[in-house]
Structure 1
Amino acid sequence: MNLNLSIFSWNCQGCASNKFLRVFREYNLEYKPDIVCLLEPRVSGHKASSIIDKLGFDRSHRIESAGFSEGIWVGWKEYIPINIIHNHPQFMILRIQGTNLNDGFFLVVVYGSPDRNRRKLLWENLTNALPQASLPWLILGDFNAILSPQDKKSDRSIGKRCKLYGTFVDNCNLQDLGYIGPSYTWQRGNTFERLDRALANDAWISAFPHPRVHHLPRIKSDHRPIFLKTTPMLNAQRGRPFRFIAGWTKHANFKDLVSSKWRYSGNMVDSLSEFTSHVKEWNRYTYGHIGTRKKQLLKSLGSIQKAMDHSNSRRLANLEMEVRDELETVLNHEELLWRQKARCDWLQLGTGIPTLRINNGEWCSEQDILRDEAVKFFKVLYGENPNIIPNTTSDIFTRIKDQDSDFLNKPVLREEIKKALFDMAPLKAPGSDGFHAFFFQSQWDLVGGAVCEWVQGIFDGNKFEEELNNTLIVLIPKKKSPEDFSQFRPINLCSVLYKLVMKVIANRLKVVFLKYISPEQAGFIAGRNISDNIIIAQEVIHSMRSKKGGKKWMAIKLDLEKAYVRVSWKFIEMSLITAGIPEKIRKVIINAISSSTMQILWNGVPSRPFKPARGIRQGYPLSPYLFVLCMEWLGYLIKSEMKTGKWQPIRLSRSGPALSHLFFVDDLVISARRK
């Protein structure tokens, strides 16, 4: 059977708290399950839906809780075909389809009632609901009962086998899949029991002969999760780039580290590289790598809890409490890291893209091949195209006046640089150097001088260091189940220092463009609002419908596909020259956009680099202003046709302005009288 799945089952004893979400995220990040089964969530209705939406799964199904008991939630990735077969207050049966029609198996998720009388019904109802024995079944969850006296350890009572449970297992010819880790899955005081387990019939074991069931460390709940893989666990992929961790700044010694190890002697790449080496070493020996420390604590917790299976030592109980408290502190400290990841979609990047259609039309799931195909696709997309430059005439743009040219050309001051930096979102995704704006903001008194000197040097004619002008491309799906690379939106991650230079220029253009960009453009121009153009467009349509000769008028909405990616650098340069942008600023802009390299960030790991030959980076401070400037050419061409009488615009009233086009940055609506 071709299915390779991992299933996580946990009686979490309540899903409503922030602590649950934090702990679940930790389990999810560490083990990356395909299917999650949460038992006893103690929440239902709209609140349950809201929590499930935060868990990161494309599909889900639930059996509602009854007050503060019962309830089963199951979530899974969209690429896993699952049908819900049966719902019961104490179990859920799902059919997981395989790659072939006859492949797949039945998954039964169980939450046995803690009430003995109600639990008696579980065995009878489950036996009646199960499919025929020849089909593969997997049954797992919290049975709230034990199969043998060895499944319980207590200094108060002897474990008693649940006879009905044993009869059910025998009658259905089920086998316990065993476990790796501590013996017991539930603890309260000095009582330990193995209440959670995975069982399967012969047909399932024949299909999956090497399953592994892991008893995971117990953190929030009295129950430890169980984690089943149909094949043995593999080590996670390595090679992820360095990322500055915002939590470092909270350490008492971090300021001292920056003060003693930050050095700048004219080359920012060397400074960042040297400081990165120092901060990695400091993290390893002083701060403690948050992931490594967390794993150490989880491992220690597992060892202590395993030892507690065989001893009622008060010392072990106290030690377990200490480790759990420290782990809680680490997880709290990690909240900053989670915010970083949430802001830059690291969670999505980590989930992987299971399969896509590649250039030859075939479906492919090999990650190395997909990564190489992604590079080929985007290399073509950003590749050189024939430069289409309209004939330049002096009246395309209202040329920038001398006083505005002087404003754009004036020396860049330290205060201007600082304001641009502190206006940035502190934890937005960094570029390949790994440093967020938060690092420079929080350590401004120590690194601000170097940052200002470097930025001022760029405006004085220095070139961008290649490493600071490297762009990581993150692929965000445009739809839930993308089939090929065209159905991904490329998001560019650039270094903070690159963005800082662009933001300084953008802040200046923002002041100037209001005076020169045509009124038809509503996007990114100070004092204008896209909603104004939306209202005007609605009025145009209404007027066309109301006119006696309304059928002679037309309005067309155009969406320019991948508009930012396809812009020619020559076209941008010509637009800057024609508008009268000063040469010094123009050179900085052209140097910035034309000297970059790009890498696809595939599942968090950079691909081989490639050089683009066109395009501007969507989502970055200067890009909208450059695109708005380029769109002025189209407005000019439309107005030229109006002057010749070939294009007749609509007027909403006799004395009203002629309305031929409305711009919404890279979308537009054109209106005219048809021939």
Structure 2
Amino acid sequence: MRMVKDLKRKNRLNMLSLVETKRQSVTRFDVSKIWGNDCVGWEYVESTGASGGLLLMWDNGFFDMRNCYKNERWLCVEGVLLQNNFNCAFILVYGAHLRDEKLVVWEELSYIAGLCQVSCCLIGDFNEIIHCDERRGTDRLSVSAEEFKNWIQDMGLVDLPITDRKFTWFRGRSCSRIDRAMVSLEWLEEFPETRLRGGPRGLSDHCPIIVEDKRLRGGPRPFRSLDSWFTHEGFLRMVKEEWRGLGDVQFTDKLKALSVPLGRWHKDNFGDMDNKILKLEEEIKKIDDRVGDGAYDETVDARRKALVTWYEKWYVRKELHWKQMSRSRHARDMDKNTRYFHNIASARRRNNRVDALVINGRMIRNQARIKLAIRDFYKDLYHQEKSPFVGFRE
């Protein structure tokens, strides 16, 4: 029996999942013993002999189950998160080993997710990777891995990055990341701070994985150049004028000073892309309504073409912006799913933050101490020692 999920919110255990229970039957006594009290709901899938078996438990004050669907390799509970009245489904998965069996499991999960018609969180041992660096010694993905990767994208799921380890399964010299948690875009919109980390492996060959909704204060955000800026006709002219206006100062100071007018220019020109696109859509609709009423001439046609041209420009700018911010390895050229990229970018910002640091052998979680330690480390690293004065004799 191994734990693969521990859903926590505000340091409280709310849901626990077990894969490979190797139990043909599970009783309330078993569940209460594992959970620690009787205030627990649960569902299970029996094992086949001494193989497989799934168990999902939850705090009755956290989740109210409405429907349950089962198969030998997955367990789905659909219901409501009581704290915010959020309709969702949790799907616990024990992946197959053979390619044909994996395809059947992916098809079944697609059907169940469509049947539930709510936000989903899929978690478990999927027995498959989606990137070469998720399995040691692998330099190319297998056919089944490519199919799994495409299935994730077709389902519109976000594979949560694990923050504190590279692999989750170990056997001898072999190691892979086959245990994962994936959530729908609607899930991330409701819980934007969802994070994934690993727990201690102990005697098992799998690491438990822990899903948390944990809000952290971030530090200052670094300045970066955005690809979308270069699509604007006035960008380079503005940079040249501001650069000349800064005069003769050190190059690094000049770059730092340039960030102020750049930030102001970005806010004025790119600050509300969604509203700009929405207004253009409304204007195009008005033109279409006029044409529908029979008011069509060359002026109307020219106006519509101009609006469509501007609409395309702003849509491409928005796409470029979120593709760059997400740096998604799933991104395909000209895929207009900016909502997907937006949530990937949010996930990257969450998982790039440092919420714990080992300082002098001790694990520190205090954000103020972490910031000081990082600052002192780089200050010492890039400190230039005084060089002896070298003179020349004539």
Q: Which protein is bigger by CA-based radius of gyration?
A: 1
TM-score in terms of structure 2 length? 0.48
